């Protein structure tokens, strides 16, 4: 149930599950850069549920949703591979009876993953195929693998206030890089710069986003990790989610209209 691509030089490879079009692995020069929980059961995922780790696609709703599952249905559906050139793969998801029972709109999602040298490009395109306008929020829920989350640095979020999803309060931004994560963090930063940099050891990972104005930063930390049955108790130390999204304001799409966004990770 998964597809593989390699960079033209062969030094990078990617695995993507058709389940949710979830990118499961990105290996560059022998090093895995994406976090996938050892309890994720990615080879036999549960229908309707997301895979814990990788890059799940959140659509058509970020967070709790009155119509259906948290973060929408796209991450729990089986997508179709429509093209694989060896270093670029195109996956599609179109509305069906099940999605229309939850959210009664006709849509097509096209997800293109391209490996170029040290860059991993993921772009998502949304088409409104119906006769009614709809609105959505969306996000690339990227789980990055880190050796020790307490020692990471993240730049690109300095001096930007955020909505703290834990306390439901707005918190003013602070100067300088985020230096280490030492607790449960669940933040929505609206209107962020298009480039963030994650740094650990000798590694720098650049997150570059296009038409994704917002950034979610998440780490469940110890207590929440223990409460998740698809996440190891200590795995919170090995990951951070830097999630590029369109979440602070909903995106409207008229019939026949198309909307596109992109994230490029460069290591
Ligand atoms: C983040 C949210 O994007 O995803 C968190 O900000 C949420 O609130 C996390 O806990 C994981 O969500 P889920 O549905 O995959 O457990």
CA distances from 110 to 5, 47, 69, 107, 146 (A): 17, 20, 21, 10, 29
Ligand 1 pocket, mutate which of 70, 162, 214, 244 (most atoms under 8 A from CB): 70
d(CA 175, CA 129): 45
Ligand 1: centre distance to CA 223 (Å): 14
Closest residue by Cα to atom 8, ligand 1, is 186
- pLDDT attached to residue 167: 98
- pLDDT attached to residue 245: 98
Q: Is the bond into 60 cis (omega within 30 degrees of 0)?
A: yes
| DSSP-derived pairing of the beta strands 162-164 and 185-189 | antiparallel
Q: What six digits make up the tokens of 250? A: 């909903």
CA distances from 134 to 126, 140, 251, 252 (A): 11, 20, 8, 6
- pLDDT attached to residue 13: 98
| DSSP-derived pairing of the beta strands 239-253 and 214-219 | antiparallel
Closest residue by Cα to atom 1, ligand 1, is 218
Ligand 1 pocket, mutate which of 61, 218, 220, 228 (most atoms under 8 A from CB): 218
Q: Counting Cβ atoms within 10 Å, is residue 166 exposed (0-12), middle (13-18) or buried (19+)? A: exposed
Ligand 1 pocket, mutate which of 50, 141, 224 (most atoms under 8 A from CB): 141
- pLDDT attached to residue 90: 98
166 lines ligand 1 (CB under 6 A): no
Closest residue by Cα to atom 6, ligand 1, is 186
Q: Which ligand 1 atom is the nearest neighbour of the CA of 75?
A: 15
- pLDDT attached to residue 27: 98
d(CA 121, CA 78): 21
Per-residue pLDDT of the chain (267 residues; tens, 9 = 90+): 999 999 989 999 999 999 999 999 999 999 999 999 999 999 999 999 999 999 999 999 999 999 999 999 999 999 999 999 999 999 999 999 999 999 999 999 999 999 999 999 999 999 999 999 999 999 999 999 999 999 999 999 999 999 999 999 999 998 999 999 999 999 999 999 999 999 999 999 999 999 999 999 999 999 999 999 999 999 999 999 999 999 999 999 999 999 999 999 999
- pLDDT attached to residue 68: 97
Residues serving a catalytic function are 141, 243
Ligand 1: centre distance to CA 11 (Å): 32
CA distances from 89 to 2, 17, 30, 81, 115 (A): 11, 11, 21, 7, 9
Contact 2, 17 (CB under 8 A): yes
């Amino acid at each position: 149930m998964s597809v593989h691509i390699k960079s033209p030089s062969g030094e990078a490879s990617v695995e993507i599950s058709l389940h949710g079009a979830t990118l499961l692995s990105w290996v560059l020069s022998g090093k895995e850069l994406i976090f996938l929980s050892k309890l994720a059961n990615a080879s036999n995922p549960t229908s309707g549920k997301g895979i814990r780790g990788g890059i799940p696609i959140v659509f058509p709703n970020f967070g709790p949703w009155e119509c259906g599952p948290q973060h929408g249905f796209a991450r729990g559906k089986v997508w179709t591979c429509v093209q694989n050139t060896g270093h670029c793969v195109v996956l599609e998801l179109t509305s069906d009876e099940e999605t229309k029972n939850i959210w009664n709109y006709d849509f097509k999602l096209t997800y293109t993953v391209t490996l170029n040298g040290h860059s991993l490009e993921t772009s998502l395109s949304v088409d409104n195929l119906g006769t009614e306008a709809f609105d959505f929020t969306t996000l690339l829920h990227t789980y990055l693998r880190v050796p020790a989350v307490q020692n990471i640095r993240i730049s690109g979020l300095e001096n930007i206030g955020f909505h703290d999803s834990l306390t439901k309060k707005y918190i003013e931004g602070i100067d300088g890089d985020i230096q280490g994560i030492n607790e449960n963090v669940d933040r929505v930063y609206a209107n962020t710069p298009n480039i963030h940099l994650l740094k650990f050891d000798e590694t720098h990972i650049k997150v570059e986003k296009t038409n994704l104005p917002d950034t979610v930063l998440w780490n469940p930390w110890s207590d929440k990790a223990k409460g998740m049955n698809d996440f190891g108790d200590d795995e919170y130390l090995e990951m951070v989610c830097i999630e590029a999204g369109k979440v602070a304001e909903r995106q409207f799409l008229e019939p026949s209209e198309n909307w596109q966004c992109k994230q490029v990770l460069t290591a």
